Chains A and B, each alone.
Chain A
Amino acid sequence: MGLLVQARPRRLRRPDLPVLAVLVIAAAVLMPVLVLALSWLGDESAVWQHLAQTVLADLVLNTLLLVMGVTVGVLVLGISLAWMVSALDFPGRRFFDWALFLPLAVPAYVLAFVALDTFDYAGPVQRLLRETLPAFSGGSARRPWLVILTLSLVFYPYVYMLARTAFMAQGRTLMEQARILGLGPYAAFWRVALPMARPAIAAGLALALMETLADFGAVAVFNYDTFTTAIYKSWYGLFNLNAAAQLASLLLVFVLLTLALERLGRGRARFEQQGARQAHRVRPRGITPWLLTGFAGSVFLLAFALPVGRLLYWVVDSAWRDLDARYWGLIWRTLVLGSGAALVTVLLALLLGYVRRTRQHRLLHIAVRGATVGYAMPGSVLAVGIVLSFAAIDRFLTQTFGVGQVLMGGLLALQMAYVVRFLAVAFGPVETAFERVRPRLIDAARTLGASPAETVRRVYLPLLTPGVLTALLLVLIDVMKEMPATLLLRPFGWDTLSVRIYEMTAEGEWARAALPSLSLVLAGLLPVYLLMRRTRVH
C-alpha cells in the first residue's frame, strides 16, 4: 500500500514481489497461447499451399472488410449513444442509459440467426414485400453489410460502456470551460470531450474488434468466410490441428501489431480528468430530442427487442416443453461460473493495473500486454491450447507423483480458461480507471496529511469503482455466453445454458435453443441493471 500513495511510478531495476506476481500471471495466461505457437515446429506447407491456392485471399479480404466495417459501426453507435445518455436530455434517457448495454447479453450468433430468419429471402419481411409489391423480387440477405451491421449491434456495448463512463466522469467543469472559451456544444464534443475519452474508446474498440476477429458462430450463420473459417476448415475439415494453430497464432500477431499501433498513436499523451460532478444535461430544442429517442430506440429494438421477441415467440410456441427441473441447475451453474470467474478475473486485472500504476520495469509492459491477448483467439482454439497444456501438466504429475487427473475435468481448469480468455475484458476498464487517478490527486492527499489507507479509501476507491464494476459486468456476461471452453473443460454434470444452446443448434434445432438462449439473456438482466445503476455518477 505504501507504493500506492507515491505520486509517480517507481522505476525498478530488479523486479520486486508484485512485479514477479504479474510476470507469473502473464506466463500462466500465455501458456496456452505459447503451446499453440509450438505448432510452427511442424511443417504444414501442404495445407498452406492448398489454402493459398484456393480460399486464403478471399478470406483475408473478407476479414479486413469486416474489421473496418465493425470499427466504423461500433464507433458510431457506441460513441453517439454514450454521448447522448451522458450529455444530452431526451425522452426515455434514464431507460436507455442502462438498456443500451443489454445487447451484449445476446450472443452474437443468436442475433445473426434471428436477423437472417427475419430478413432473408424466405423470411417474413421479404415475403410481405413480395406479396404486396409485385415488382419486388428480393434476394439473399447474406451480404457483408448485414454481417457488419449484426456484429456492430452486438459489440457496440463495449465502446458504449467505456465511453459512457469516460463522458460521465469528465464532469461539469470541463465542458463549462470549453463553453466559456467559446465552443458550441457540438464543437465542445469534437474538440474536448471526444479526444479526452479516447483511451476509453480505444479500449472498448479493441475489445469489440478482438471479439470480431475471434467470432465464428455469427459469421458461420451468414456463411461469411473469414480468417477463422480457415482455422476451422484446417481443424475440422482437414483434420489438421497443427495448421489451425499456426493460423490462429498469425491472427494473434495481427492483433498485437494493431494494439501496438494504437499505443504508438496515443503516444505520450496523458488523459487526466477533473472531478466527477455531472454536467447539466443539454436539452436540444425542437423535435431533436424525439429524434434522439428514435435513434436510441431503433438500436435497442434491432439489437435487443427483435432477438428477444423472436426467442420469446419460439419459447411460447414450442420450446417451453423442454422446461424441467434440470433448468434451475443450468441457470444456477451459469451464474456461479460467471460470477466466480468475474471476481477472480477482475482481482487479477486490479493487481495488473496496480503494479503497472506503481512500478516501471522493462518486462512489465510486455507482460501486461501479453497477459491480455488471449481474447483475440477464437474460443475453441484457445480452449484446445488450454487442454493441451493442462493435459501435459497432468501427465507430468501422473508420472512424478502417481496421481490421476488434477487439472483436466476440474473446476479449476475451467476457471483458469475463463481468466485466460477474459483477462483482457477486465483489464481494459480497470486500466482506464487507473489512468483517471492523477498523480496530483495523490500529491494533494499526502499534503493534506491523509494516511495511505485513507488515500486508498478516499481517492482510489471512488475513482476505480466505476471501472471495476464495468469490468465485473463485462466478464460476467461474457463468461455466461462463453461456449467452447465451457464445453471442453467443464466437469461432468456442470452443464450450463450455453452448453444447452450448443447442443440444440448443433442439431439444427434453433427453436428449441430459444429456451436456453432466452434464459441466458434474462439471467444477465439483473446484474446489468444493478451494476449500471451503480456506475451512474450523480
Chain B
Amino acid sequence: MSPWLKGGMLALAALAISACSEPEDTREVVVYTSRGDHLVKPVFDAFTAETGIKVSYITDNDAALLTRLEAEGSNSPADMLITVDAGNLWQAAERGLLQPVHDDTLKAAVPANLRDPQDRWYGLSVRARTIVYSTERVNPEEELSTYEALAEEPWRGRLCLRTSKKVYNQSLVATMIERLGEARTEEIVRGWVDNLATDVFANDNAVMEAIIAGQCDVGIVNTYYFGRMQRDNPDMPLKLFWANQGEGESGMHVNISGAGVTAHAPHPEEAKALLVWMSQEASQRVLADGNMEFPVNPGVSPAPAVAAWGEFRADDLNVEVAGRRQVQAVKLMDRAGYR
C-alpha cells in the first residue's frame, strides 16, 4: 500500500471517529426529515432559541429515511421522523419505527382525522389537492364539480395530470378506493386516462403551465404549487376549484406533512417537546406559510394569500387510508394505464 493511500485512510478514519464522538453535554433532538431544509430550519431555529434544545437533522426522501431508520434499529440516533405525506408515516408506524405520544395539548391542536388513531404520528400542515382550471376556457359553475366528473365525456382531450408515480396522486386514489370501492375507482381512473390531452407530466407546475399555454383546460394539483405560481404571476388565467363540495360528496382531498417520535429515540422527552411545540400557533404559521400550505391547527388561520382562495370542506376520512390503501392504489393505476 502506498504511503499516500495509508495517510488518506488514516485521515478518513480519524475524521469518521471525530464525527461520531461528539460530547453530549447539550440537550438535543435528532430529526430525519423529508421536508426540505428551507421548510424546517426556521422552525427548528425558533425552537432552539426558545428552549435551548439543539436540533440536528438530515434531509432525504421518505423511502430512504425509512429504510435507514429500520436498518439502524436500536442504534439509530434519530428521535423524530418528519415526512411530507401520511402514507409514509403510516408505513413507519406499521413497521414499529414510531412510538405513541399521548399528549392532550397535541391532540387538541391536531384534528382527529389528521393524526394516527394510535397516536404514533401527527399532522403538522395540511396539503390540499384539488382541481385547477383555465379561466379562459372553463365555466366553473356549469362544468366543474368533482374529481370523479373529470372522467366524464365533456372532458375528453381537455385534462392534464401529473404522473401516478407521485405519492400525492396515490393518496388521492387510495382515498377514492376507500370511499367508492375499487371497481368504481378503476372506472374513474380509466376515464381520466381516456380524457388526457397529452402524456402525464412529471410535476404539478408543468400541469399548470400546460393549462395556461392552452394544451388542456383542467388539471389536479396541490394548492401550494398554485400559490407559488400565483405569487410570481398574479394575473395568470388560472384558478383553483374546491372539488367535491356538494351535498353528499366527500369533501376535498387533503394530505398532511407530519411527524412522529421514533421507537428507539435517544432523546424522547426533547422530541415530544418539539412535536408539541410544532403544533402550536407560532410554528404552525412558519410551517404552513413558508410553503403556502394550510395550518393543521384549526385555531390558526392560513396566510392571507392562502385564505384569499376561500374556505372549503375537507374530506373527513382519517388520512391513514393513504398509507393503508397505497399499494392497492398503485396497482390500480398501473392496470388502468395511468403512467
Contact = CB atoms under 8 A, between A and B. Distances in A.
Interface of A: 21, 50, 53-55, 116, 120-122, 126-127, 139-140, 142, 220-223, 225, 229, 232-233, 235-239, 241, 318, 322, 340, 343-344, 347-348, 351, 380, 383-384, 387-388, 391-392, 394-395, 398, 404-413, 415, 484, 487-488, 490-493, 495, 499-500, 502-504, 506-510, 512
Given A54-B335, A235-B63, A140 B198 contact: yes
A487 B16 contact: no
B320 to A, nearest CB: 14
Contacts, number: 178
Contacts of B13: 412
A233 B215 contact: no
Nearest to B6: A347
Contact of A395 (B5, B75, B215, B326): B75
A492 to B, nearest CB: 4
Contacts of A238: 327, 330-331
A122 B335 contact: no
A487 B64 contact: yes
Contact of A347 (B2, B165, B201): B2
Contacts of A221: 202
B199 A236 contact: no
Contact of B60 (A126, A233, A318, A487): A487
Nearest to A120: B206
A415 B12 contact: yes
B163 A223 contact: yes
Name A's interface SS: helix
Contact of A504 (B34, B36, B68, B200): B36
Contact of A351 (B5, B12, B17, B38): B5
Contact of B334 (A55, A380, A506): A55
Contacts of A492: 30, 56-58
Given A50-B331, A140-B199, A506 B36 contact: yes
Contacts of A388: 67, 71
A233 B165 contact: yes
Contacts of B72: 391, 394, 405, 408
B12 A411 contact: yes
A223 B331 contact: no
B73 A395 contact: yes
A347 B17 CA distance: 22
Nearest to B15: A411
Contacts of A127: 213
A491 B15 CA distance: 11
Contacts of A142: 199
Nearest to B213: A122
22 contacts: A55-B339, A121-B213, A122-B213, A122-B215, A127-B213, A220-B165, A238-B327, A238-B331, A318-B232, A347-B4, A387-B67, A387-B71, A391-B73, A407-B16, A412-B15, A487-B60, A488-B65, A492-B30, A499-B37, A502-B59, A502-B60, A503-B37
Can you list the 8 inter-chain pairs with the closest CB atoms, starting with the nearest? A412-B16, A503-B36, A122-B213, A410-B16, A391-B71, A54-B334, A237-B330, A122-B209
A508 B205 contact: yes
Given A122-B215, A405-B75, A410-B16, A237 B36 contact: no
A223 B199 contact: yes
B19 A409 contact: yes
Contact of A384 (B8, B64, B163, B331): B64
B335 to A, nearest CB: 6
A223 B5 contact: no
Interface string B193-212: 00000111111111001101
A133 B196 CA distance: 26
Nearest to A485: B64
B332 to A, nearest CB: 10
Given A388-B71, A503-B37, 7 more contacts: A55-B334, A236-B63, A239-B91, A241-B63, A487-B64, A506-B34, A508-B228
Contacts of B71: 387-388, 391-392
A367 B213 CA distance: 55
Contacts of B65: 488
A381 B201 CA distance: 24
B47 interface: no
Contacts of B327: 237-239
B20 A222 contact: no
B165 A232 contact: yes
Contacts of B200: 223
A509 B67 CA distance: 26
B35 to A, nearest CB: 8
A197 B339 CA distance: 42
B316 to A, nearest CB: 26
A127 B210 CA distance: 11
A114 to B, nearest CB: 13
Interface in B202-256: 202-206, 209-210, 212-213, 215, 225, 228, 232
Nearest to A244: B63
B61 A506 contact: yes
Nearest to A241: B67
Contacts of B34: 506
Contacts of B206: 116, 120, 122
A239 to B, nearest CB: 6
Contacts of B157: none
B75 A408 contact: yes
Given A237-B330, A404-B75, A507-B36, A493 B67 contact: no
Interface in B32-54: 34, 36-39
Contacts of A55: 334, 339
A398 B75 contact: yes
Contact of B228 (A351, A484, A491, A509): A509
A507 B291 contact: yes
A409 B68 CA distance: 10
B125 interface: no
A491 B205 CA distance: 33
B167 interface: yes
Given A347-B8, A394-B72, A409 B64 contact: no
A233 B75 contact: no
A415 B210 CA distance: 43
Nearest to B39: A507
Contact of B16 (A225, A236, A413): A413
Interface string B63-101: 111011001110101000000000000010000000000
Contacts of A380: 61, 64
